[in-house]
């Protein structure tokens, strides 16, 4: 059995996330994004690789969307309405509520501002969203009889989720984008300790390790305060959802504390509308925000009002949130053109900008001019502040997650090629987990675990449990967030010693195999036990026995025994064995000497059938009838060779001990 | 598996309670509080009322007890050692109101499972109860005596018989169950023991039991439960509503495929007793609402027999009939409210069911709007604000129609807009200053508690009970006559209405058919109301209150998952001809999420040799001789008559003797090598493992 992952997008790049995973006869598409950096057909994943005939309904069992960002959901309406996929689509409640806004915003931008021919219409978006089944976190969703999926909190944006998928015994997690540090409005990613064959994780910050977030927030607030104090205008280009709310909470709070009266604006109704959703979806924000929700909804911002285009050139300082985030066009570009030439003003940039956008140009070096197209160029004199609190996990977070889940294989997507290669190396060398970083349109095939369902008898299970077992659930129960210091939970893995489970598996034709205990086996199979016993009537020289007795510190008990008594001779033999061997569990029971299954007693008869060859010569030899089972063969022969030792010369042709050690 | 029904409960506010023993775990199913003793206590007199009657003796003509009320836990629960409970499952907010009594016990160590929404609403209801109760403590002073004056026998003797019955109960034992209310600290401590989950979230209890809540439709967050143990899978069905007008509906499809169903929806039994009619009040001036009789008519059941395919069955279960029936009732209430309002009367609605309140709010406000009546709606409760704002942030727990509102960016419930437009006012208490400045009559007031003893409703009744133009809307399940006792004579109109609170009896057979279990555990009382035809598909067992039902095992073996790498280590041998193969298995048993996994042992093998070999079958002497010959050992068969044993005498390479018995073969030789080789030969003719 194997799991096949066809990377249709976000392979060694950021943009148009889309991975098609085939396992156990099912195909799941994770994300269906678009690339913001391209305007040609490269903006969409190459769907023709899924099915050359274009019959996507029979080749895909379901689509899972991790969050509402366009590079994860942007191609969905195109795929469902234009390419004709009409199977189930799963996303979380917030994603289902917010994705249409993002899509519509993008569509408008393409059509109205760039005058492009539209790839999909508003109706397409509406129709597409009707096919979406909303899921809650941790809810076990049975897509069909064999395919089960489950969402886990990813913390990246409102409603972002990592998805676990299981077909039969094949298991995997696709993380989408995630964040391991809680921010102003979202919690940190959280997942159970699952047993996985495959983990497909984002790797945006494959090599970055970030410091405390509070320092970076302070830095941002300082820059903002300095700028408005100097009468400057601040442009914060953001996506409507996510960063905007986080920064708003931050600024609203700061304004309150510093008693600032400078207006904070939201461009267009988009963000205002978005706040409405945030209020209803407060259950998906961080615990801290949920807790204060009973008194006042934290998304009711006190200092925020909506912006009018006429205010662009009005005097005085202000803060403006404008879409889109990377100044790739739209309103944020319009404002940027106006504000960039003044050194009083400030533009903040998100931590990551797609190549080709103005945001990207501003980040790489400090350009003084930006050529927008051949006719327009912008003088850039304003200050640039780069926001480095990105809602992506850093390298440490990725390593921690991989270590926590310890999957059998890791695939990296959604990152930059050289950084991914370095992270891949670390995962392989530090964690010993095979790791892949496929390029777009590559397929990675990994093997999966396979188990066979068998029956086990009650006594078998009980015996194993009574012996104690390795408590696996303890690890599974603890779920993981980086903020809560998960390193402690990792130590739980081998909290108890391993106990070996031993049984017999019976496989009968046309029946399920069954594991039973040895003592149940005969009954199950319907036969009787046949015992194999090895015997030998062994001659021992009386002299050597007496010698053993006298040579010992002769306990008082032995003195009471008389030489005619069997117990006397058994005791002598016991002493002899004690003296001449390292067996420490030789026991005297009644008139018998025993060591594991080896038993020996004085042979009462002269014509013992188990006597081979030797005979009593003048009463100097005693015969001990010995028997043992094949298990103790080695021990038995060693004991026998000690017993025979003295009589050896007389019966040398028989008793050439193969061990030869004690002679 | 054992099921003990502790209490059949009494409808929506006091759900049934069971103890389930499963796979070695003791699980308590629900832990409600019995508020019926409240009826025996007098409400706190409002100030005006009090001034008038200050000189009266402590016990007045109504005979009600004037003291801090006490409450009752589930009847037989006190017989259980709380330390033995491993888990508590809570299906609805009402199912957890008695938990602080249990959880405050120092030895209580069970994990409490409930959905996030149930836990939240339940906590709010506890806080509400505490707030209403606090008024009594404030009035009478804290209860210092563990055995207050009124609990003494001579005091109880003079109680009117109806009240005595309530206090003493069916037998004297229940008297001891009357407890002072838990404290806010108890509630806090109790909530700490909750594990709040989502719908369809699988939780692993103690590594073995997998527990999963599935929407039941009764209330926001209300659930049924799937409990899967190593050899048992059980579905616990609490009161469920197929299509709810506010909460997510009854997700019965997710309950399919389990062996055993514990059917604990007693709601239809109430209907059977009441004949499905809304109890009519003698003084009720409004028309009776005749419901269609819910008695299963023979025809409806025989028609059920025909529908075996799932589609037809599903059609039997769903459909809008229940919603529209409920809507009819609510519209009727709304129209009564309008009539009353038009006549200048105030309306008092002490209904405690969130779903009903949410719908009534929307219906009444719409009706007011259309009639252009400017009558304020007040909601007075310590938890009004938090409850309503909570309903607006839980789209995941609501029905499709309300979820749709999220997608279109509207508020989930109409009350958000009503509040903004100042048509609805929320107050925590009756005497809050903002209420005094806002108060207008006539008005429509939603306020707890349906017992009419505690909460703001008691004061409002004292104010309005003699006004003929006022209206009181009560839920079914309250003995209206008793409830109104302290306010007599009552001149205001009283409307009492029942609401759907579970699966209707005629829907039980098709539901069971869809769920397709092997065994259904039903309340004894339902025995006569179910057609015998369903029993051909599965069998029934009946349980009754305070009796333990033993459920026989349906499966002997455990299911284990054998890892491929361990399976590859096996060395199977064929025995008994060719039909069976056996192999020794040595590995490590892991338990993960209720699954037994056998994986290769990480410990180096210490005794993997033939040490623990087991032989069976019998030794055929001729086969043995030829096997020996293969190892260049020559033996001859001889028989000894006296024992019947067969001997094989070996002379080459050296002397040895093999004695073959039915159950035992003895190999005798003084030569270790020879002995070993003979032993190998003997093994080869036996079925060894």
Query: Is the confidence at residue A425, as pLDDT, over 90?
Result: yes
**The most confident of A227-241, B184-198, B538-552, by mean pLDDT:** B184-198
- Which one of the listed residues A202, A246, A520, A645 is annotated catalytic? A202
Q: Which residues from A are below 8 Å from B596, CB to CB?
A: 456, 461
CA angle B663, B669, B673 (to 5 degrees): 110
Interface test with A, best of B585, B661, B664 (most A CBs within 10 A): B585
Residue of B nearest to A455 (CA): B559
Closest CB to B591 among A453, A473, A657: A473
Q: Which residues from A are below 8 Å from B206, CB to CB?
A: 473
Q: Which residues from A are below 8 Å from B676, CB to CB?
A: 633
**Furthest-apart CA atoms within chain B: distance in Å:** 123
Test B667 with A527 for CB contact under 8 angstroms.
no
pLDDT of A387: 79
Q: Which residues from A are below 8 Å from B586, CB to CB?
A: 500-502
Closest CB to B199 among A136, A461, A613: A136
Q: Reduce the DSSP state of residue A106 to 3 states and report it.
A: helix
Residue of B nearest to A468 (CA): B589
Give the closest-approach CA distance of B513 to chain A in angstroms. 20
Q: Which residues from A are below 8 Å from B579, CB to CB?
A: 508-509
Test A469 with B590 for CB contact under 8 angstroms.
yes
CA angle A370, A376, A378 (to 5 degrees): 35
Give the closest-approach CA distance of A162 to chain B in angstroms. 15
User: What are the residues whose beta carbons fall under 8 Å from the beta carbon of B234, sequence distance 6 or more?
Assistant: B1, B20, B22, B226, B227, B228, B258, B259, B260, B261, B262
pLDDT of B177: 77
**The most confident of A15-29, B62-76, B581-595, B641-655, by mean pLDDT:** A15-29
Helix axes A633-644, A566-580, angle to 10 degrees: 110
Residue of B nearest to A532 (CA): B665
Angstrom distance (rounded) from CA B211 to CA B218: 20
Interchain CB contacts (distance < 8 Å): A and B = 288
Give the closest-approach CA distance of B52 to chain A in angstroms. 40
pLDDT of A615: 58
User: What are the residues whose beta carbons fall under 8 Å from the beta carbon of A35, sequence distance 6 or more?
Assistant: A9, A13, A15, A16, A42, A43, A44, A71, A354
pLDDT band at B14 (very low <50, low <70, confident <90, very high): very high
Closest CB to A530 among B563, B588, B619: B619
Test A631 with B610 for CB contact under 8 angstroms.
yes
Give the closest-approach CA distance of A30 to chain B in angstroms. 21
Residue of B nearest to A97 (CA): B407
Give the closest-approach CA distance of B329 to chain A in angstroms. 30
Q: Which residues from B are below 8 Å from A500, CB to CB?
A: 586-588, 601, 603
pLDDT of A306: 80
Name the E strands within B480-528: 493-497, 519-523
Q: Which long-range contacts (CB under 8 A, 24 or more apart) does B79-84 make?
A: B80/B19, B81/B107, B82/B107, B82/B108, B82/B110, B83/B107, B83/B108, B83/B109, B84/B26
* Beta strand pairing call for A161-167 and A318-322: unpaired
What pTM does this model have? 0.85
Angstrom distance (rounded) from CA B582 to CA B689: 7
Closest CB to A451 among B564, B614, B689: B564
pLDDT band at B52 (very low <50, low <70, confident <90, very high): low
Residue of A nearest to B586 (CA): A502
Angstrom distance (rounded) from CA B309 to CA B300: 17
Residue of B nearest to A631 (CA): B611
pLDDT in tens, A88-104: 999 999 999 999 988 98
pLDDT of B48: 54
Test B679 with A534 for CB contact under 8 angstroms.
yes
pLDDT of B174: 64
Residue of A nearest to B657 (CA): A610
Tell me the mean pLDDT in the region A594-618: 75
Measured over the CA atoms of residue B123, residue B385, residue B138 and residue B34, the dihedral's sign is: negative
Angstrom distance (rounded) from CA A116 to CA A487: 51
φ and ψ at residue B308, rounded to 5 degrees: -105, -25
Among this protein's residues, is A580 annotated catalytic?
no
pLDDT of A256: 86
Q: Which residues from B are below 8 Å from A609, CB to CB?
A: 657, 659, 668
A167-176, A199-208, B254-263, B528-537: range with lowest mean pLDDT: B528-537
Looking at chain B, the number of H-run helices and the number of E-run strands are 21, 32
B32-36, B358-362, B636-640: range with lowest mean pLDDT: B636-640
Give the closest-approach CA distance of B256 to chain A in angstroms. 12
A591-605, B218-232, B339-353: range with lowest mean pLDDT: A591-605
**Cβ density class B478-506: b for 16+ within 10 Å, e for less:** bebebbbbbbeebebbbbbbbbbbbbbbb
Measured over the CA atoms of residue B644, residue B645, residue B646 and residue B647, the dihedral's sign is: negative
pLDDT in tens, B224-282: 999 999 888 999 999 999 999 999 999 999 999 899 999 999 988 865 554 333 333 33
pLDDT of B533: 60
Write out the two tokens for B265: 């929806």
Q: Reduce the DSSP state of residue B465 to 3 states and report it.
A: coil
Query: Is the confidence at residue A293, as pLDDT, over 90?
Result: no
Give the closest-approach CA distance of A257 to chain B in angstroms. 27
User: What are the residues whose beta carbons fall under 8 Å from the beta carbon of B608, sequence distance 6 or more?
Assistant: B586
Using alpha carbons, select from A309, A335, A318 the residue that is nearest to residue A227: A318
Test B575 with A658 for CB contact under 8 angstroms.
no
Query: Is the confidence at residue A407, as pLDDT, over 70?
Result: yes
pLDDT in tens, B296-309: 333 333 334 444 56
Interface test with A, best of B601, B672, B675 (most A CBs within 10 A): B672
Give the closest-approach CA distance of B37 to chain A in angstroms. 33
Test A630 with B610 for CB contact under 8 angstroms.
yes
Q: Which residues from B are below 8 Å from A507, CB to CB?
A: 572, 580-583
Helices (H), A197-309: 213-229, 243-258, 270-280, 287-292
Angstrom distance (rounded) from CA A191 to CA A173: 10
pLDDT in tens, B484-511: 999 988 999 999 998 999 999 889 988 9
Tell me the mean pLDDT in the region A196-201: 96
pLDDT of B396: 94
Interface test with B, best of A105, A158, A534, A659 (most B CBs within 10 A): A534
- The 3-class SS string of A476-489 reads HHCEECHHHCCHHH
Residue of A nearest to B689 (CA): A504
Closest CB to B596 among A138, A139, A456: A456
% of chain A with per-residue pLDDT over 90:
33
Test A504 with B581 for CB contact under 8 angstroms.
no
Query: Is the confidence at residue A37, as pLDDT, over 80?
Result: no
| B66 burial type by CB count under 10 A (0-12 exposed, 13-18 middle, 19+ buried) | middle
Say which residue the tokens 């699952």 belong to.
A194
Angstrom distance (rounded) from CA A403 to CA A400: 5
Q: Which residues from A are below 8 Å from B664, CB to CB?
A: 530-533
Residue of A nearest to B597 (CA): A451
Give the closest-approach CA distance of A95 to chain B in angstroms. 10
Name the E strands within A31-84: 62-64
- Cα B286 from chain centre: 37
Calculated CA dihedral for residues B135, B141, B142, B147, nearest 10 degrees:
-110
pLDDT band at B608 (very low <50, low <70, confident <90, very high): very low
Angstrom distance (rounded) from CA A138 to CA A136: 6
Q: Which residues from B are below 8 Å from A538, CB to CB?
A: 670
Test A452 with B676 for CB contact under 8 angstroms.
no
pLDDT in tens, A458-490: 888 888 876 654 444 443 444 554 444 333 333
pLDDT in tens, B308-351: 566 777 777 777 788 888 999 999 999 999 999 999 999 999 99
pLDDT in tens, B248-264: 999 999 999 899 999 99
pLDDT of A562: 61
* Beta strand pairing call for B260-263 and B519-523: parallel
Closest CB to A527 among B409, B610, B687: B687
Write out the two tokens for B636: 């001859």
Q: Which residues from B are below 8 Å from A530, CB to CB?
A: 615-619, 663-665, 686
Test A501 with B667 for CB contact under 8 angstroms.
no
């Amino acid at each position: 059995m194997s799991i096949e992952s066809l990377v249709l997008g976000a392979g060694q790049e950021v943009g148009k996330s889309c991975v098609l995973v085939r396992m156990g006869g099912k195909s799941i598409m994770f994300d269906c994004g678009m690339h913001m950096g391209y305007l040609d057909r490269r903006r969409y994943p190459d769907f023709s690789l899924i099915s050359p005939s274009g019959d996507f309904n029979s080749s895909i069992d379901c689509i899972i969307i991790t969050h509402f960002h366009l590079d994860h959901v942007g191609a969905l309406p195109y795929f469902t309405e234009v390419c004709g996929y009409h199977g189930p689509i799963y996303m979380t409640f917030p994603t289902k509520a917010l994705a249409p806004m993002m899509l519509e915003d993008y569509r408008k931008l393409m059509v109205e501002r760039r005058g492009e021919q539209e790839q999909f219409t508003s109706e397409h978006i509406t129709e597409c969203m009707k096919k979406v089944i909303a899921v809650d976190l941790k809810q076990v969703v049975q897509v069909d009889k064999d395919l089960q999926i489950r969402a886990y909190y990813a913390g990246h944006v409102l409603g972002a989720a990592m998805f676990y998928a299981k077909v039969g015994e094949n298991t995997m997690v696709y993380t989408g984008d995630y964040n391991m540090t809680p921010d102003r409005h979202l919690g940190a990613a959280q997942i159970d300790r699952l047993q996985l064959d495959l983990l497909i994780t984002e790797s945006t910050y494959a090599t970055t390790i970030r410091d405390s977030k509070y320092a970076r927030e302070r830095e941002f607030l300082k820059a903002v305060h300095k700028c408005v104090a100097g009468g400057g205008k601040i442009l914060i280009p953001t996506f409507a959802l996510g960063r905007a709310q986080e920064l708003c909470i931050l600024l609203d709070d700061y304004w309150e504390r510093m008693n600032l009266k400078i207006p904070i604006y939201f461009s267009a109704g988009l963000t205002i509308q978005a706040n409405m959703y945030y209020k209803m979806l407060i259950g998906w924000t961080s615990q801290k925000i949920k807790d204060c929700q009973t008194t006042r909804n934290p998304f009711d911002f006190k200092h925020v009002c909506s912006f009018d285009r006429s205010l662009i050139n009005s005097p005085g300082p202000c803060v403006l949130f404008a879409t889109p985030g990377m100044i790739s066009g739209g309103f944020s570009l319009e404002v940027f053109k106006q504000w960039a030439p003044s050194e009083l003003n400030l533009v903040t940039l998100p931590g990551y900008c797609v190549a080709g956008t103005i945001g990207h140009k501003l980040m790489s070096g400090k350009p003084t001019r930006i050529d927008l197209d051949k006719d327009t160029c912008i003088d850039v004199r304003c200050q640039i502040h780069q926001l480095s609190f990105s809602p992506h996990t850093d390298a440490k977070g990725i390593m921690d997650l991989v270590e926590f889940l310890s999957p059998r294989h890791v695939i990296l997507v959604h990152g930059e090629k050289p950084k991914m290669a370095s992270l891949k190396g670390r995962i392989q060398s530090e964690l010993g987990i095979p790791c892949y970083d496929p390029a777009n349109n590559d397929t990675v095939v990994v093997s999966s675990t396979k188990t066979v369902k068998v029956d086990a008898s009650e006594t078998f299970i009980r015996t194993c449990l009574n012996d104690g077992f390795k408590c696996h659930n303890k690890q599974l129960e603890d779920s993981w967030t980086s903020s809560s210091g998960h390193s402690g939970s990792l130590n739980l893995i081998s909290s108890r010693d391993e106990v070996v489970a031993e049984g017999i598996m019976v496989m009968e034709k046309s029946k399920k195999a069954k594991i039973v205990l040895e003592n149940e086996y005969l009954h199950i199979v319907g036969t009787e036990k046949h015992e194999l016993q090895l015997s030998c009537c062994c001659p021992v020289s009386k002299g050597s026995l007496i010698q053993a007795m006298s040579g010992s510190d002769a306990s008082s008990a032995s003195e009471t025994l008389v030489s005619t008594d069997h117990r006397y001779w058994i005791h002598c033999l016991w002493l002899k064995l004690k003296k001449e061997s390292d067996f420490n569990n030789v026991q005297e029971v009644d008139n018998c000497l025993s060591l594991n299954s080896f038993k020996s007693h004085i042979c009462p008869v002269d014509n013992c059938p188990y006597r081979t060859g030797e005979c009593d010569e003048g009463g100097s030899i005693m015969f001990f009838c010995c028997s043992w089972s094949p298990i103790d063969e080695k021990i038995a022969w060693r004991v026998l060779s000690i017993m025979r030792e003295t009589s050896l010369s007389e019966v040398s042709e028989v008793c050439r001990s193969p061990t030869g050690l004690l002679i | 598996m054992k099921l003990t029904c502790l209490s059949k409960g009494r409808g929506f506010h006091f759900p049934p309670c069971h103890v389930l023993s499963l796979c070695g775990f003791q699980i308590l199913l629900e832990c409600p509080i019995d508020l019926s003793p409240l009826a025996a206590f007098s409400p706190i007199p409002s100030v005006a009322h009090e001034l008038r009657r200050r000189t009266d003796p402590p016990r007045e003509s109504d005979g009600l007890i004037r003291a801090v009320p006490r409450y009752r836990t589930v009847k037989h629960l006190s017989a259980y050692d709380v330390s033995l409970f491993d888990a508590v499952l809570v299906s609805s907010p009402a199912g957890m109101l008695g938990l602080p009594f249990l959880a405050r016990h120092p030895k209580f160590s069970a994990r409490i499972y409930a959905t996030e929404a149930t836990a939240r609403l339940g906590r709010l209801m506890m806080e509400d109860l505490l707030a209403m109760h606090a008024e009594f403590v404030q009035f009478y002073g804290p209860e210092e005596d563990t055995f207050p004056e009124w609990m003494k026998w001579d005091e109880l003797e003079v109680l009117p018989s109806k009240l005595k019955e309530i206090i003493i109960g069916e037998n004297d034992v229940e008297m001891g169950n009357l407890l002072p209310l838990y404290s806010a600290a108890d509630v806090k401590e109790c909530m700490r023991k909750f594990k709040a989950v989502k719908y369809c979230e699988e939780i692993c209890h103690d590594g073995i039991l997998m527990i999963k809540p599935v929407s039941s439709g009764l209330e926001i967050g209300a659930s049924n439960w799937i409990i899967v143990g190593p050899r048992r899978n059980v579905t616990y069905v609490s009161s469920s509503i197929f299509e709810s007008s506010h909460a997510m509906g009854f997700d019965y499809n997710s309950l399919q495929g389990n062996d055993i169903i514990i059917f604990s929806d007693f709601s239809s039994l109430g209907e059977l007793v009441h004949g499905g009619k809304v109890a009519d009040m003698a003084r009720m001036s409004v028309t009776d609402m005749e419901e269609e009789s819910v008695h299963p008519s023979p025809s409806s059941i025989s028609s059920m027999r025909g529908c075996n395919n799932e589609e037809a069955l599903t059609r039997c279960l769903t459909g809008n009939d229940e919603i529209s029936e409920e809507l009819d009732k609510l519209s009727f209430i709304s129209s009564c409210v309008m009539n009353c309002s038009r006549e200048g009367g105030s309306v008092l609605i002490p209904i405690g069911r969130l779903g009903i309140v949410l719908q009534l709010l929307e219906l009444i406000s719409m009706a007011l709007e259309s009639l252009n009546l400017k009558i304020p709606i007040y909601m007075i409760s310590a938890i009004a604000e938090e409850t309503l704002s909570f309903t607006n942030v839980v789209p995941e727990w609501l029905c499709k129609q309300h979820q749709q509102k999220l997608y279109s960016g509207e508020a989930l419930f109409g009350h958000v807009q009503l509040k903004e437009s100042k048509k609805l006012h929320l107050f925590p208490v009756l005497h809050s200053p903002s209420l005094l400045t806002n108060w207008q009559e006539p008005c429509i007031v939603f306020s707890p508690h349906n017992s009419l003893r505690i909460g703001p409703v008691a004061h409002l009744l004292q104010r309005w009970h003699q006004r003929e133009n006022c209206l009181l809307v009560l839920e079914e399940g309250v003995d209206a006559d008793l409830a109104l006792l302290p306010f007599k004579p009552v001149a205001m109109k009283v409307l009492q209405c029942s609401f759907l609170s579970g699966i209707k009896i005629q829907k039980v057979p098709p539901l069971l058919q869809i769920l397709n279990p092997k065994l259904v555990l039903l309340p004894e009382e339902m025995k006569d109301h179910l057609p015998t035809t369903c029993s051909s598909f599965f069998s029934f067992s009946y349980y009754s209150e305070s009796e333990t039902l033993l459920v026989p095992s349906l499966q002997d073996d455990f299911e284990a998952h054998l890892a491929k790498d361990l399976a590859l280590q096996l060395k199977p041998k064929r025995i008994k001809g060719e039909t069976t193969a056996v192999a020794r298995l040595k590995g490590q048993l892991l338990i993960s999420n209720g699954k037994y996994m056998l994986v290769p042992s990480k410990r180096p093998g210490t005794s993997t040799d033939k040490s623990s070999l087991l032989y069976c079958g019998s030794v055929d002497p001729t086969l043995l001789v030829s096997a020996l010959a293969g190892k260049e050992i020559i033996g001859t068969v001889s028989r000894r008559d006296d024992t019947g044993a067969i001997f094989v005498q070996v002379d080459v390479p050296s002397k040895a003797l093999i004695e073959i018995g039915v159950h035992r073969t003895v190999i005798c030789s003084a030569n270790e090598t020879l002995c070993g080789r003979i032993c190998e030969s003997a093994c080869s003719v036996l079925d060894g493992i």
